[in-house]
Structure formats: structure tokens, C-alpha cells
Structure 1
């Protein structure tokens, strides 16, 4: 394995760690564990010495230092910063070797730079939901594109099945549905609506009479701090109900696509991808139900976030395999 392939694999795994820790940071309410950026209370690391803690208290009297939350936030920043360096190294290596297809590594570099900007805005704008959602979506996009980059460097993992092209519209529809469902899930989390409904199948009695669509999708600009949410209970319940409805639509569309892909694929590779897509979908649905039944246990919620990222990544990879099959060897 060449150095470039090893570096891509390392970067892909590192991205997974950043996604997991990012979800853990948000779910432990540590997104503002350090109220400034890029440091923490004005220091490069979490202050522990009494004199530094006194300075931190004077700088941010409205947000007392909590070491556990501050370290959660800073470790996430350290890992994210390292990811940026890894992607920059990949881009430079690709350009210096004058390899074809420079668009993808260039896009990865631009996205990771924008991700850093979104990370800063997440803190400086007090967890503004639209910024938190964008940070999540671009993080998942980065992961998916890195998977494509990994795939492009391994021709043996490329499909040669030209007969799957008619499935491309359904594949793209499945990808769109997954993307919208993840966005709904991100909006649910960013507005602290994950526990707005705890009954099955949709919400508590009378939920349909309390839907508040306008407020549910209002950006609620103008607040200094969005920690723990600013929406009413009805608006949060509306988002939550829509996310559950979206889960039903996503399950039907993606399962149907996975079944047709498995039936029509001639290669073992594409059949395995279809089975993987179905398995990840089933796991994601199970984790979502457990979030409701068990009232959002931390590890389960983190897993739900990570499996969602993998569902998007698999959808992107499958679309790419169908749209751009490797030419048949003579």
C-alpha cells in the first residue's frame, strides 16, 4: 500500500473519530464548554491552575468553567484541527504528484476550512441552530467525499456493472431522502427536540392539534445563547414528529432501492453494498426507536449520529458506483 493510500485510510478513520466525538460533545451539552474560540477561556488548553481559573472567571463571569465539558470541547477541536492538517497533506500530495482528478481533494480542503469556520461560529454565535446543523451536514459530507476519494484510489473496489444505470434515478432519490432525513435529525438535535415526544408511534395524545410549523422552522435569530433551545414545546414536538415521519419514508425508499439493487446487481461487490445499505438502515431505525424508548441514552444517541453518517456515506458511494462504473477490461 502506497503512502498516499495509507494517509487516505488514516484520514477516513480520523474523520470517524471526529464525528463520534462531535456528537458526544453536543450530547453532553459541552458545545459551549469553552465559550471562546480557538482557545479556552483565553488559553490554549483548559485552565487548571488557580490563578488561570481566576482569570477565566473574570473573562467569562456568565459561564463558569466546567472542566469535563471544557476538555470535551477542546479534545474535539484538537482532533478536528489534526483532521484539517491531514486533508491539507492529502491535497498537497495529490497536486505535487500531478495526478488527474484534482477536483475532489481540492473540494475536501475547501470543506474542511469551511468546517473550521462553522466550528468557530458554533461557539461565537452561542449554538445557533442553523450553524449547528450546517456544521453537522458538512461534517457528514466531508466523510462521504473522503470515502469516495478512498474508493478512487482502489480500482479493485470499483464496479464494472454497466447494467445498473437504469437504477440511478432511484439511487439519487434514495440519497436525497437520506440527506433530508439527516437534516431533520440535525435540526431536531440542534433545537433540543430529541425528547419532545416520548410516546409511540408519533407523540403524546393530541399532538396533531398542537403542530407549529412556522415556529418549528423559524431561524429564531437575535438570541445571545441558544443552549438548551429557545423554541416552544409545540414547535419542538413538531420537528420531532416530522423526523419520525421522515424515518418511515426513508425506510420505505431506501429499503426498496436496496432490494432492487440486490436483485439486479450482477457483481458480488454491488450485492454486498446493497446488503450493507439495508443493514445500516435497519440499525439506524433500531437506534432511533431505542432513543425514544430509553429516553435518549448517551451512547445510543452517539451511535445514532455515527450510523447516520455511514448511511449517507454508503448512499453516496453506491450512487457513484452506479453512475461511474469502471470500464470493462478487455
Structure 2
């Protein structure tokens, strides 16, 4: 199989892993298996009588919850398969003289670090900074895979030089703004702050006088037996949620402006379609964010919100690549 074809498969597979991770996290199944990489010391979820007896002997006080445990293990299985795909891409790139070398190496290192973060997520009992880092690692992985795919499929954009001089800096700023919003979203999710505000457009009550920025964004939250369901007080969670909403407004405005300028100035039909897709994705993401609040975080909507963020990131990576390459 050619490297570009394998990369396309791997990008889709990475998106599935990200969504499965989000589904597992939002189903409160992140500690469905209290150990790593197996589940209660086994390669599958224990279900037989002798297996459950072994669990009681090895993990006293723990009760196997099959649904949560299987969600966690399926996530680990497909993440392991993704690791093998990344390794295969790395090997193929090393063998082909014309293929990039540094970027595949970086991606291979990232997948190893992602595995470590997956382990620490469990062993550190869902410590928010680790959970958020694991989420950001997944988004970084899919972005780098797309970048590698684009490196193997050179683009030719009509009038590219003129567009790049005008819009490339704006596109890069927008990418940074979006990345920060994804990080804040990860912090919101890992601290169980998604439902800290249940009214629109901002938050209920005297929210302004209850903001606790220092406590809300402090990665060091003390020692706890578990961080499941969060350890921050309401005011801190509310602060995280409010910041996520405010920065979402900034992000949407910036991305709409980029899309407008790109559609207005670009001579490339490909970039014009990318601009229209950007508008569509931003509108969809805003609608999903509002739905999460109004409908009290339904699982399908919350997972779709993660998917929307990933697709926005991929679209902006493509736009930046097209503009900065000046092909």
C-alpha cells in the first residue's frame, strides 16, 4: 500500500480513536479498568466465575462493571491498532528515499507518549492535567498525520503567493486561537465543568463576582484518591465554563473573518471550498455547544462536539499548509 493511502486510513482511524476516547470519558468509564494495559490483570474484561474470584483477590473492594470496563478496553484495543499503523507509516517512510523522515519520527514519538498518557490517566485516577494532555495528544496526532499526508501530496494553488502574503499570518493566528479553545475545552471536560452553567448566554446567578481564575486553571489540585467527577468547587468549575464560552465567541469570530477573507480574495476553488467548509463547521460547533447546555450534555451531542473540534482543526491545518507553502 502506498503511503498516502495508508495515511488516509490512519487519519480516519485516529478520528475514531478520539471519538471513542470521548465516548469513554463522557460515559464515566475512564476507570472502568483500574490497571493498565489489561483489565484487572487480564487481556479482556473478566466475566467468568474464576476470573471474578481472581479480581477479588487481586483488587479487593473493586467491583467489575462490564459496560464501563468494555468501553475502556475497546478504546485501548483500537488505540493499540492505531499505534501499529503509525509504526508501519514510520517504517515505510524510512524505506522510501523521497518520503519525509523527521515528521514521521515525531509522529512515532507522539504515539508512544500518548500510550504513556493513557497509562497515567488510569494510574493517576483521572488527574485533570493528564486527561487534558491525553486529549490534546490525540488532536495533535491527527493534525500531524494530515500534515504528513499533505507533504506526500504536493498542492498547487493558483495565485498562491499573493494569497499567502495577505492571509497566511491571519490563518496562523486563527489556528492558535482554535488550539487554545480546544485546550480550554479539554480542561472543561476533565474537570467535569460542562454543566457548571445551565443558562444562556453566559451563566446563572452572580457569576461575575464568583470567578476564580487562579484556582480554576491551576494544574496542581492536590492529592486525592480519585479525580473522577472532579475535585474543584462550583465557583472554579463555573469559571472554567465561562472562559470556555467567552473564548468560543472569540474563536468563532476569528474563524468567520478568516473564511470571509479567504473566500473573497482566493483565486482557488479549493480554498474557496475550504472557506465555506470552515463556516459550516463553526456554525455546527456553536450549535452543538449550545445544545450541550440546553439539553444537559447528552452523550451523542457531547461526542459530536469533540468530532467538530477535530474537523475544525484539520480544516485549519489544511488552510495554513496551502497558504504557507505558496505552491
Specify the alignment match of 2:24 in structure 1. 25
Which residue does the alignment assign to 2:105?
106
SS of equivalent residue, structure 2 residue 312: helix
Q: Which residue of 2 aligns with 1:309?
A: 310
Question: Offset at 1:210?
Answer: 1.1
Give the match for residue 167 of structure 1.
167
Which residue does the alignment assign to 1:261?
262
- What's 1:232 paired with? 233
Structure-1 residue corresponding to 2:9:
10
| 2:146–2:314 CA contact under 8 A, matched in 1 | yes
| Cα deviation, residue 63, structure 1 | 3.2
Distance 1:61 1:274 in 2: 56
How far apart, in 1, do the equivalents of 2:3 and 2:202 lie? Answer: 48
CA RMSD of superposed structures (Å): 1.2
Aligned to 1:296: 297
1:234-266 residue CA offsets vs partner (Å, 9 max, x unmatched):
100000001000111111111111110111110
Q: Kindly state the Cα deviation for residue 59 of structure 1 after the two structures are TM-superposed.
A: 2.2
For residues 55 and 100 of structure 1, the distance between their equivalents in structure 2, rounded to whole angstroms, comes to 50
The secondary structure found in structure 2 opposite 1:271 is helix
Partner of 1:280: 281
Counterparts in 2 of 1:209-224, with a 5 A limit?
A: 209-219=209-219, 220-224=221-225
The CA deviation string for residues 81-120 of structure 1, in whole angstroms up to 9 with x for no partner, is 0000001000100101122421211111111111001001
Q: Is the 8 A contact 1:108 1:145 kept in 2?
A: yes
CA distance in 2, matches of 1:222, 1:63: 21
In 1, the alpha carbon distance for the partners of 2:222 and 2:140 equals 26
User: Whole-Å Cα distance in 1 between the matches of residues 268 and 301 of structure 2?
Assistant: 34
Contact 2:263 2:271 in 1 (8 A): yes
Partner of 1:194: 194
Deviations 1:189-245 (A, max 9, x none): 000000000001111121111111121012203223100000001100000001000
Q: Secondary structure at the match of 1:74?
A: helix
1: CA distance between counterparts of 2:3 and 2:257?
Answer: 37
Contact in 1 for aligned 2:99/2:152 (Cα 8 Å): no
Give the number of aligned pairs. Answer: 324
Q: Deviations over 1:126-176 (max 9, x none)?
A: 001001111111100111111122222223x54341111221111111011
Q: 1:57–1:65: 8 Å Cα contact kept in structure 2?
A: no
- Which ranges in structure 2 are unaligned for 5 or more consecutive residues? none
Q: What SS does the aligned partner of 1:111 have?
A: helix
Who is 2:206 aligned against? 206
Report if aligned partners of 1:151, 1:158 keep a CA contact under 8 Å in 2. no
CA distance 1:196–1:62, change in 2 (3 Å)? farther
Contact in 2 for aligned 1:258/1:278 (Cα 8 Å): yes
Instruction: Spell out the pairing of 1:136-147 with structure 2 (5 A cutoff).
Output: 136-147=135-146
Report the more deviating stretch, 256-265 or 144-153.
144-153
- Report the more deviating stretch, 143-152 or 111-120: 143-152
Quote how far apart the aligned CAs of 1:28 are. 0.2
Query: How far apart, CA to CA, are the structure 1 residues paired with 2:253 and 2:242?
Result: 17
* Matches of 2:196 and 2:26, distance apart in 1: 15
Seen in structure 2, the aligned counterparts of structure 1 residues 171 and 9 have a Cα distance that, compared at 3 Å, is: same
Q: Which runs of 5+ in 1 are unaligned?
A: none
Deviates more, 1:300-309 or 1:6-15: 6-15
- Residue-by-residue CA offset, 1:40-59 (whole Å, 9 max, x unaligned): 00111111111111211232
CA displacement at 1:80 relative to structure 2: 0.3
- Name the SS for the 1:273 alignment partner: helix
Please give the secondary structure, in 1, of the residue aligned with 2:74: helix
